[in-house]
Every structure is written in structure tokens, then in C-alpha cells.
Chain A
């Protein structure tokens, strides 16, 4: 097992303590809810999309530090990006954390890479991303991490 500090990096702890874009977004064009019944992590992601660009994004919810930091860092990474770029980020994060990809997620998101060594916690990190994907694809219902 890797060192605990690989999982709980300073950046993650800091985002957990002060999550970015932690608010409802009104008005919004896209919204989805994410829920992990196993641990109770729950969040809502809302986006304002115009001309295929994520103009703004916000989230609210409660969960573990990994989930909250992942959501916070996700909102930073996605804001101002095209929808296609956001979906690419989802693929990069999901692929890496699910153990398929070998390329580290770009930028600050690489701080979440350590989660891969903790299989029981991978879903904590991917839940916000599944919720983002559902919101952008306009899917109804609650996102799960399956």
C-alpha cells in the first residue's frame, strides 16, 4: 500500500476544506444528482452551457474528502471548457481511476491519481464525474458510480 499522504495530498485536503464553486447555479441549463448509497456521498452538479461551452458550473452536497475535493477540482477544470473537452476530461479521469488508462489526468487533477491505489475509494472520486456526465448528456435520474 502506498503512503496515506499519496491519497490525502495537501491539494485534496485544501479543496475539501474550501471547495470551489460550491453553490447552486441559477439559472442553469443542465443538472444532475449523484448518490452513492454505500457511503451516503450525495451531490448536485449544475451547469450553464451556451454554444457548446460550459460558461459556469456549481455543485452542492456532502461527502468524504475525496468526493468533495474531486468535485471541487472538477468544477475548476471544466469551467470555460467546451462540452467535448469536459467529456474528454471525464474519460481521462474515469479511465485512469478505473485502472484502464496509464496517462495521468491533466493538471491539478493528477492529485487525485493516488486514489487508484485504494479500490474501495475510487467511487468516491468518480461520483462527481459521473454526475457531470449525466448532467451534460441530459440524463434523468440520479448518477451512480456503476
Chain B
């Protein structure tokens, strides 16, 4: 059954109607949801597909010969094809289902890490989310590797000219975010990949913040790994995907051991399955994978080019409107940005701003956005972040600016 076709308004102008959660009041005001970089809301089509699975098709996958198991297996396998198509991977077995971006990066760190020796190097950037910092630091403690950090400039863009000096004989991987969750900077990952590949160094891209906003083509990028979460792309929490080039997935050792990832087990010897099963021990999040697949269908129907244009328009409009607010300073002003405006206000802490905006129905994130090194780079403890989704409008930005007027008034 194609649930999606029944409940999608194939236009960004009317997309809001696909998200019932947005139609509510908070603190007596219409909800203005501007925390999409933390998680997006889910369209009815996603919720219906997951409910349909649990109501009619629930069974374990890749096991039973009974009808429900066949249905569940087909839906699960189809979800993998949807992910493959969405990011233009060459093969479905290059898609590993994981819990989210964090688990995807840890999977690479833990498997690739087994072969690293003291003195081997991993390069990240100063823009990274903690999920693309801590797994490598853990590897530093376990294996004695060296972590090198590509700095960022005052606009929040990576200093590309400093990358060559960081790449060397011992560099084993470059792991870099595609879009900064804290600032919205779109990082030139294609150039970074070309530079790294010219020296035979593989590249992992943390795409958590890019997948819902930009067209992503992993073959076009030629990245070796691409990690993302379902829940930041209008899908459910607890599911995500790791793309890995087939040659990498074949050569890396398995990660977790258990059911599904083995071909045969005896007490003397166990042989492992081929990818993707090799990296998917245990019963997977079947409903999650189905939901994520429908969410990607939803994005495809809306059109990623249209979404990217919509995000950029909102981002520019927000930057212009926020410039009108006295004492407000934007943090992150790179030329290429996507769907995030991060700012500080003179004399007002971001947590106070967050609370006051909430009293006006406006939901934003206040804090360090799991990117404390970015905050440190700009010498702020925290920022207020408004982040946009495909259902947001210019009126939402206007509501934000009006609510910020109330902050200014209260803290006059």
C-alpha cells in the first residue's frame, strides 16, 4: 500500500497541512516551531506508514516464511532502496541502518579504529557536532591516534587553505560535517573530498544537518562514508543510515556481534554475513526504517531543489529581519548557509531568550547546540538558534522578531 500518495500535498505552500502537530497553541499563542535542527516534525504519511506496519505487517525480518514476515521484510528492504535512491548510492548494500548519525560515526570509528596504531591521524573541523568529535577522542584514548582540527574563520566557514597542511602520511581519515548544526554553514565537502582523495585519504561526511536541506549525491561527492539521522529529515527518532562504499564495507571488520550478521555459527568458528547484514546485528528498527523511507519519499515529492531554495530564502529573510533587532549579533555569517540563524543579544542570556520566546509560542534552541568548541571559537557560552523546516514561512520569522521585541522590552 502506498500510504504516502494519500496524504501528501505536493507543494511547499501547503505542506504545513501535512503536519498536524503544528496546528496547536503554546502559552495561548499559535505554535511557531523553529527548532528543526534539533528535530523536525513528522508528516502524517510517515506516522500512517509506521502505524500501518504495526497494525497489519508486524513480524521479524529475514527469518520467517509466513506472510507477515514476508511483508515486513519487503517493506524493510524497500526502505533501504529508498535511502539508496535518495542519496544516489550505487548499491543498496552500501546502506547500513543504524540508530542515527551518532551511531553511524561510532560504527566507523570503532571498526576502522581496530586497525589504527599510535600516531595515525584523523582530521576533523572546528565546526563539528560532539557526535563527530567524541568518537575520535575515544579512539585517541584507546589507540593513541592524533586528532587534527581544521580551524574556522570569523564567518564560521572552515579555513580550506589550511587543510593541505593537516593532511599527511599518517592521515587515515577526514571526518567532516556537511552543514553545521550550530551555525548553518554549508561546508565545501566536495572540495575537501577531492583534496583528501588526491592523497589517498578516505572521507566521512556527517550529513545529519544536510539531508533535510540539500540535494545529496554520494557518488557525485565521491565520499567514502555518509552518515545521517531519520529524525532530522521528517522521519522517526531511533533510525538513521550509514552509507559506505562497498569496498570499505567489505574490508572493515564487523562491529556488533549477534543475529543477522552471521552466515554460520559453531563454537569453533563463525563466518560473517556480507554487508549490509554484517553491520546490522540483532533485530533492526523495522518500523523506523519504514518511516524514514516514507520521509525521504516525502522530501523527494517536495523536491530537494525547491526545499533548498525555500531554506535559503528563509535564512536570508531572517538575517535581514534580525538585523533590525537592537543589540542582536548573528553568529555564523558564512556566504553559504542553510536553514539556521544563530545569534546572541547584548545583556540577555540565551536561556532567558528561549523562555521568553516560548511564552510567545516560539520554539527555539538555546544553548551550545552540542558544539561547545564552536561556542568557544566565538567567545560565547551559548547562542539562541532558530532553524527552519520546509513548513516554516516568512510569517514565522516575523513572529520570532516580534517575540524578540518582547525580550528587548523586558530586559530594557
Contact = CB atoms under 8 A, between A and B. Distances in A.
Nearest to A3: B359
Given A39-B382, A121-B355, A8 B410 contact: yes
B410 A124 contact: no
A84 interface: no
Contact of B411 (A41, A65, A66, A121): A65
A65 B351 CA distance: 9
A1 B355 CA distance: 12
Nearest to A40: B381
Contacts of B352: 8, 64-66
B368 interface: yes
B355 A40 contact: no
A39 B354 CA distance: 11
Contacts, number: 45
A13 B411 contact: yes
Interface in B336-368: 347-352, 355-356, 359, 366-368
B27 interface: yes
A8 to B, nearest CB: 6
Interface residues of A, number: 21
B382 A40 contact: yes
A63 B366 CA distance: 13
Given A13-B410, A42-B381, A63-B349, A7 B367 contact: no
Interface in B348-403: 348-352, 355-356, 359, 366-368, 375, 381-382
B351 A64 contact: yes
A1 B27 contact: yes
A64 B367 CA distance: 11
Contacts of B381: 39-42, 62
B349 A64 contact: yes
Contact of B367 (A40, A66, A67, A118): A40
A57 B322 CA distance: 40
* B interface majority secondary structure: mixed
Contacts of B347: 17
B368 A7 contact: no
A119 B166 CA distance: 45
Interface in A90-146: 118, 120-121, 124
A65 B367 contact: no
Contacts of B366: 39
Contact of B410 (A4, A67, A120): A4
A7 B358 CA distance: 13
A9 B256 CA distance: 54
A8 B351 CA distance: 12
B368 A40 contact: yes
Q: Which of B356, B359, B366, B375 counts the most chain A CB atoms within 10 A? A: B359
Contact of A65 (B27, B349, B368, B382): B349
Contacts of A8: 352, 356, 410
Given A4-B410, A120-B355, 12 more contacts: A1-B27, A4-B356, A8-B410, A13-B410, A39-B351, A39-B366, A40-B367, A40-B375, A41-B351, A64-B351, A66-B352, A124-B351
The 7 closest A-B pairs by CB, nearest first: A40-B381, A64-B349, A64-B351, A4-B359, A65-B352, A40-B382, A64-B352
29 contacts: A1-B27, A4-B355, A4-B359, A4-B410, A8-B356, A13-B410, A17-B347, A38-B367, A39-B366, A39-B367, A39-B382, A40-B367, A40-B368, A40-B375, A40-B381, A41-B351, A41-B381, A42-B381, A62-B381, A63-B349, A64-B349, A64-B351, A64-B352, A65-B348, A65-B349, A66-B351, A118-B355, A121-B355, A124-B351
